[in-house]
């Protein structure tokens, strides 16, 4: 039984020291200087996603100047990015430098994984228990656990029998040296989405490798990143433009620097239409995904026209015509899933030592001690097997904590059928208010919770942290020690989120953004998993709730 205490040891505990957690710490120190705040982090360093994802080729594919924290103006003025799309080591250095400047680590307890979170109604406190059994009481709890942080291995038979080296991309060894560790090796990569495309390209470019086998189940649409260094003059110019950069992101549909062309595809003469596509394709960044005509992701005919045009670009880059067709997606249109930007991905397949194994033709039968056996009876012998198979997205990291919410309710189903009927998010059906709070989880705020906008992630984090901080100020000023969203407010938010997803081609595909993961039990069904209106609309909704005096919440 949980010990009972009269007062909390902490006012706020935060789980996770990635961008969400360190942002929360930055603001709570500023706004609530007398409050006791601590952050728990499972790793031995700050950084979250950018600490863990050290796989070859990991880098931003959105502009660095739009994809970092905006609050610390001094730090913005100090920090210089070396490339338009920074690589992982530089991104981690950036986060570390931010934490050095703000003395963040002082309030972070590293090497600590929170295992249990139990609500104590009587005292209005959360009791957290870590993986070593230590207990912590707190008034408020903030989760900053990330939406793409619970690595997921594929459900392929024999996976643990492999005798070579096997790595999930987001648990890549720290001391890995590409030239040394890939020399003369036969490497296999399973997964060809955002992570796979980056790592396959980087590994293919390593001169010493013996061979690279790419196990592709679903081909991804992809287009050139066109990264360049940032000169000191250009960086100085960016620094004068930050306000407008962040404003531009706030108004764009997915929080990036690009918004759609206001015209419909077929209202524009063909020559002019293709000229815009060509221009965007030749430029760096996501314009070729998000700067297109406004009906590209609502009108299937418009989407097909652009997809066909991009398919021709792929055909022009792959020498083997039969192979090129296999690299062109046929089951979803361009941009309806997250579009990874690449730097020579398609050309990799022109190398004699890079082979595509099309799992739609020859599925994997089993992993063997020495490689992968496919349905055609071929054994692909490997020294290194890379799983670029993604994450148990959005709820996976939250599900890693054993929750006991209000009235003893678990957050997720646990396999105990009696208890499962009472799960707050039974059948993985997430119910939230503004994506920030959930009924039956009092005094808890989720940064990047389900039904928040998941485009430009640092912008999402900042918006959510801002709203949570304003709400905490409201609670403090009014002396409230209890906050929980009303069920009707959560239902209304869900309806709004569903309404926003209607008519979007991206709502009709299966992938992590629609809650589907073939490797995770209970995630085979498509759902509305994220907020698809603009970031501005998300903030407007939050402001609406605030201006109404937070009447959508139970407050005590």
Asked if residue 388 binds ligand N01 (CB under 6 A), the reply is: yes
Among 194, 311, 384, 436, binds ligand N01 (CB under 6 A): 194
Using rule CB under 6 A, residue 523 touches ligand N01: no
SS3 293: strand
Closest CB to ligand N01 among residues 254, 430: 254
**What are phi and psi for residue 293, nearest 5 degrees?**
-60, 150
Q: Where does residue 475 fall: left (phi above 0), alpha (psi -120 to 50 degrees), or beta otherwise? A: alpha
From the CB of 465, what's the least distance to ligand N01, in Å? 20
DSSP state of 375: T
Interaction residues for ligand N01, span 336-375 (CB under 6 A): 338, 359
Angle, helix 19-31 to helix 457-478, in steps of 10 degrees: 30
126: β partners: 119, 138
60 binds ligand N01 (CB under 6 A): yes
Residue 60 vs 137, nearer CB to ligand N01: 60
User: Does 519 sit near ligand N01 (CB under 6 A)?
Assistant: yes
252 Cβ neighbours under 8 A, 6+ residues apart: 258, 259, 290, 534, 535
Candidates 93-101, 148-156, 160-168, 321-329: pick the segment binding ligand N01 (CB under 6 A). Answer: 148-156
Instruction: Select the residue interacting with ligand N01 from 143, 265, 374, 389 (CB under 6 A).
Output: 389
User: Which backbone phi and psi does 384 adopt, to 5 degrees?
Assistant: -130, 130
Q: Which is nearer to ligand N01, 364 or 437 (CB)?
A: 364
Tell me the HSE value of 277 on the side-chain side, using a 13 A CA sphere. Answer: 23
**Residues of span 499-518 touching ligand N01 by CB under 6 A:** 512, 518
Nearest to 471 by CA among 382, 371, 546: 546
CA 280 to chain centre: 25
CB of 98 to ligand N01, least distance (A): 18
DSSP letter (8 states) at residue 507: G
Query: Would you count residue 526 as binding ligand N01 (CB under 6 A)?
Result: no
- Figure out which of the listed residues 87, 115, 156, 323 binds ligand N01, where binding follows CB under 6 A: 156
Distance CA 91, CA 70 (A): 15
Q: State yes or no: residue 192 binds ligand N01 (CB under 6 A).
A: yes
Binders in 200-239 for ligand N01, by CB under 6 A: 217-218
Smallest distance from the beta carbon of 434 to ligand N01, in angstroms? 21
Would you say 88 or 552 has its CB closer to ligand N01? 88
Minimum distance from CB of 388 to ligand N01 (Å)?
A: 6
Structure tokens at 350: 């022109």
CA angle at residue 50 from 44 to 53, to 5 degrees?
95
Q: Does 190 bind ligand N01 (CB under 6 A)?
A: yes
- Contacts of residue 50, defined as CB under 8 A and 6 or more positions apart, other chains included, come to 18, 88, 91, 92, 95
Q: Tell me if 553 contacts ligand N01 by CB under 6 A.
A: no
Question: Of all helices (H) and strands (E), which one includes residue 274?
Answer: helix 270-282
CA distance 266 to 519: 40
- From the list 13-21, 57-65, 429-437, 473-481, the region that binds ligand N01 by CB under 6 A is 57-65
The contact pattern for ligand N01, residues 314-343, with x = CB under 6 A and - = no contact, is ------------------------x-----
Near ligand N01 by CB under 6 A, which window of 152-160, 231-239, 261-269, 523-531?
152-160
The residue count for binding ligand N01 (CB under 6 A) is 25
Among 8, 16, 188, 191, binds ligand N01 (CB under 6 A): 191
Residues 24, 145 contacting (CB under 8 angstroms): no
Taking residue 379's Cβ as centre, other Cβ atoms within 10 Å add up to: 13
Residues that bind ligand N01 (CB under 6 A): 59-61, 148, 154-156, 190-196, 198, 217-218, 338, 359, 388-390, 512, 518-519
């Amino acid at each position: 039984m949980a010990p009972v205490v009269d007062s909390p040891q902490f006012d706020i505990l935060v789980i996770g020291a990635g961008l969400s957690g360190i942002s929360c710490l930055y603001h709570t120190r500023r706004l609530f200087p007398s409050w006791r705040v601590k952050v728990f982090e499972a790793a031995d360093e700050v950084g979250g996603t950018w600490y863990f994802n050290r796989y070859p080729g990991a880098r931003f594919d959105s502009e660095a100047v739009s994809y970092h924290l905006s609050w610390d103006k001094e730090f913005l003025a100090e920090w210089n990015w070396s490339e338009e799309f920074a690589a992982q080591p530089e991104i981690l250095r950036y986060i570390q430098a931010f934490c050095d400047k703000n003395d963040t680590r002082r309030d972070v307890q590293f090497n600590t994984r929170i295992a249990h979170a139990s609500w104590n109604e009587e005292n209005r406190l959360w009791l957290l228990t870590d993986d070593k059994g230590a207990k912590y009481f707190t008034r408020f709890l903030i989760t900053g656990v990330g939406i793409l942080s619970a690595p997921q291995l594929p459900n392929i038979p024999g996976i643990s029998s492999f005798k070579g080296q096997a790595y999930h991309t987001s648990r890549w060894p720290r001391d890995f040296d590409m030239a040394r560790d890939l020399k003369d090796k036969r490497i296999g990569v399973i997964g060809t989405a955002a992570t796979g495309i980056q790592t396959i390209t980087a590994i293919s470019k390593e001169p010493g490798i013996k061979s690279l086998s790419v196990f592709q189940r679903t081909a991804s649409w992809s287009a050139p990143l066109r990264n360049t260094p940032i000169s000191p003059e250009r960086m100085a110019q960016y620094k004068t433009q930050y306000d407008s950069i962040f404003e531009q992101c706030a108004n764009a549909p997915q929080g990036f620097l690009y918004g759609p062309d206001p015209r419909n595809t077929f209202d524009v003469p063909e020559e002019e239409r293709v000229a815009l596509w060509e221009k965007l394709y030749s430029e760096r960044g996501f314009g070729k995904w998000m700067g297109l005509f406004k009906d590209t992701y609502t009108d299937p005919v418009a989407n097909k026209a652009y997809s066909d045009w991009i398919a021709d670009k792929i055909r022009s880059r792959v020498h083997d015509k039969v192979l090129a067709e296999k690299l062109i997606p046929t089951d979803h249109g361009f941009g309806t899933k997250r579009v990874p930007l690449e730097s020579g991905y398609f050309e990799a397949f022109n190398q004699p030592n890079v082979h595509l194994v099309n799992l739609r033709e020859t599925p994997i039968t089993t992993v063997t001690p020495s490689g992968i056996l496919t349905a055609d009876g071929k054994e692909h012998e490997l020294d290194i097997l890379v799983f670029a198979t993604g994450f148990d997205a959005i709820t996976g990291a939250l599900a890693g904590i054993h929750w006991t919410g209000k009235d003893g309710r678990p957050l997720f189903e646990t396999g105990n059928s009696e208890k499962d009927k009472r799960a707050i998010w039974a059948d993985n059906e997430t119910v939230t208010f503004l994506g920030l709070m959930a009924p039956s989880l009092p005094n808890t705020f989720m940064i990047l919770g389900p039904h928040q906008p998941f485009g430009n992630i640092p912008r999402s984090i900042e918006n959510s942290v801002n709203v949570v901080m304003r709400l905490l100020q409201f609670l403090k000023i009014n002396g409230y020690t209890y906050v929980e969203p009303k069920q009707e407010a959560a239902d209304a938010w869900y309806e709004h989120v569903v309404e926003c997803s209607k008519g979007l081609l991206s709502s009709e595909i299966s992938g992590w953004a629609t809650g589907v993961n073939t490797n995770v039990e209970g995630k085979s069904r498509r759902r509305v998993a994220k907020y698809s209106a603009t970031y501005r609309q998300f903030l407007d909704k939050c402001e609406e709730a605030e201006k109404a005096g937070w009447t959508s919440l139970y407050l005590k």
